[in-house]
Amino acid sequence: MRDNPSPDELKALVEDLNFAQKVDRSLGLIREAWEEFGERMVVANSLGKDSVAVWHLAKRVAPEIRGFIITTRFKPAETVRFMQEEVARYPELRVFRNDEPLPDPELYKVAPDLCCDILKVKPTRWAVEQMNVECWVTGLRCTEGRTRTDFMEVEQRDKGLIKLNPILLWQEREVWQYLALNQVRVNPLYLQGYRSLGCAPCTRIATGPDERCGRWVGTSKCGGECGIHTRPLKTPVEVIV
Ligand code: SF4
């Protein structure tokens, strides 16, 4: 895999590269990783706009590439329907969901980090293990919000697991530009005004410069992360409830 630019170079590239150059760069990153990892490379698909853009890009490079979806009991009905349609269209997308009982039915209110750990991080670990993943591909972007400014295009937070963020440099407008130009189907919740999608109790329609500011509103996690990008995925960490 290629070396990452420095954080300052990355920030400059966000502004300096045009849309077509960013698409080429993303395809190049995916192609290099596919040549190195082949079927051990898998796309994480959250069913949001960034994920469906990355899924489309990855399919252009490797039509046989596999993906996984992490879903929870709290996903909105629209997202569940969209997921079912996507899985019917792409049977190579595997769905992982943790149905174990929660210590509190409203855990998302009292301990959202623990709730995300149980319902999102844990099944992501299952996906990585069961699909024999050595490189996972995400739709993470560095302009999405306050918690996403320090990521790199190629990362290794866990030994033996590379994370590729091929659209790290894309801005929100460029994602929509790509989806419109390629007529990619998106989650219908965007029609209602959502800009970042998650579980129903933790996601609101929000405006402003921070795309993720409608997530976990009213908690210490507001605008933050569910943990799949920040917690270890290869190392089994037991969740203490
Ligand atoms: S987004 Fe909310 S409901 Fe979903 S797993 Fe995290 S805390 Fe729980």
CATH number of the domain within which 47 lies: 3.40.50.620
Q: How far is the CA of 111 from the centre of ligand 1 (A)?
A: 9
Round to whole Å and give the CA distance between 42 and 37.
Answer: 9
Distance 74 CA to ligand 1 centre (A): 7
90 inside domain: yes
| CB contact set of 224 (below 8 Å; sequence gap of 6+) | 147, 212, 215, 216
CA–CA separation, 96 vs 178, rounded Å?
28
pLDDT in tens, the chain (241 residues): 888 999 999 999 999 999 999 999 999 999 999 999 999 999 999 999 999 999 999 999 999 999 999 999 999 999 999 999 999 999 999 999 999 999 999 999 999 999 999 999 999 999 999 999 999 999 999 998 877 788 899 999 899 999 999 999 999 999 999 999 999 999 999 999 999 999 999 999 988 888 888 887 887 778 787 788 888 888 654 444 3
Does any domain span residue 227? no
In a domain, 240, yes or no: no
By the 10 Å C-beta count (0-12 exposed, 13-18 middle, 19+ buried), 90 is classed as middle
Range of the domain at 185: 7-192
Contacts of 99 (CB under 8 A, 6+ apart): 73
Q: 3-class DSSP state for residue 143?
A: coil
Nearest CA to ligand 1 atom 5: 116
Pocket test for ligand 1, best of 46, 74, 79 (most atoms within 8 A of CB): 74
Task: Report the catalytic residues.
Answer: 226
- Tokens linked to 161: 């697991």
In this structure, the number of other CB atoms found within 10 A of the CB of residue 209 comes to: 8
Q: Let me know if residue 235 belongs to a domain.
A: no
Residue 236 lies in a domain: no
Q: Please indicate, yes or no, if residue 200 is contained in any of the structural domains.
A: no
Closest residue by Cα to atom 4, ligand 1, is: 199
Q: How many domains does the chain have?
A: 1
Short-list 108, 156, 85, 120, CA closest to 228: 120
